[in-house]
Amino acid sequence: GAVVSQHPSRVICKSGTSVKIECRSLDFQATTMFWYRQFPKKSLMLMATSNEGSKATYEQGVEKDKFLINHASLTLSTLTVTSAHPEDSSFYICSARPLVTGGLEEQFFGPGTRLTVL
């Protein structure tokens, strides 16, 4: 099956620092990767959609200068939370859509990154 990895799985940082989260599709190429955040007991909230080689599309209310997304290749996307603050503490999940889906527009999810900003 299709596997998506995320690194790191957990990170604790001080307020004001930047944190980079990597999302990799391990055994398939992904034209599109999605970044979500999820607060406790809440559903997934799409932050942005990134396509390889082009700028990410951010959802309304998501600051593009704060959440920097780079989709450098068909297997790697990174999310950098710049100048993190305690309110940025959340569970960040990426997903990837394969280059060839065979008709099923399925997304495969990474295991998530728990960010805690002190």
Partner 1 sequence: GQNIDQPTEMTATEGAIVQINCTYQTSGFNGLFWYQQHAGEAPTFLSYNVLDGLEEKGRFSSFLSRSKGYSYLLLKELQMKDSASYLCAVMDSNYQLIWGAGTKLIIKP
Nearest-approach distance from CB 105 to partner 1, in angstroms:
6
Does 106 interact with partner 1 (rule: CB under 8 A)? Answer: yes
Q: Are 112 and 6 in contact (CB under 8 A)?
A: yes
CA atoms within 13 A on the CB side of 29: 7
In the complex with partner 1, the residue whose CB is nearer, 52 or 91, is 91
Does 112 interact with partner 1 (rule: CB under 8 A)? Answer: yes
Q: Applying CB under 8 A, which part among 14-22, 64-72, 76-84, 105-113 lies near partner 1?
A: 105-113
Does 93 interact with partner 1 (rule: CB under 8 A)? Answer: yes
Is residue 37 within a helix (H) or strand (E), and if so which, with residue range?
Answer: strand 30-38
Residue found by looking up tokens 């569970």 in the block: 91
Residue 86 backbone phi and psi in degrees, to 5: -50, -35
What does the DSSP 8-state code read for residue 14?
-
Nearest-approach distance from CB 32 to partner 1, in angstroms:
9
d(CA 45, CA 90): 11
| Site string (22-51) toward partner 1, x via CB under 8 A | ------------x------xxxxxx--x--
Does 108 interact with partner 1 (rule: CB under 8 A)? Answer: yes
Residue found by looking up tokens 């951010």 in the block: 58
- Residue ranges binding partner 1 (CB under 8 A): 34, 41-46, 49, 91, 93, 104-112, 114
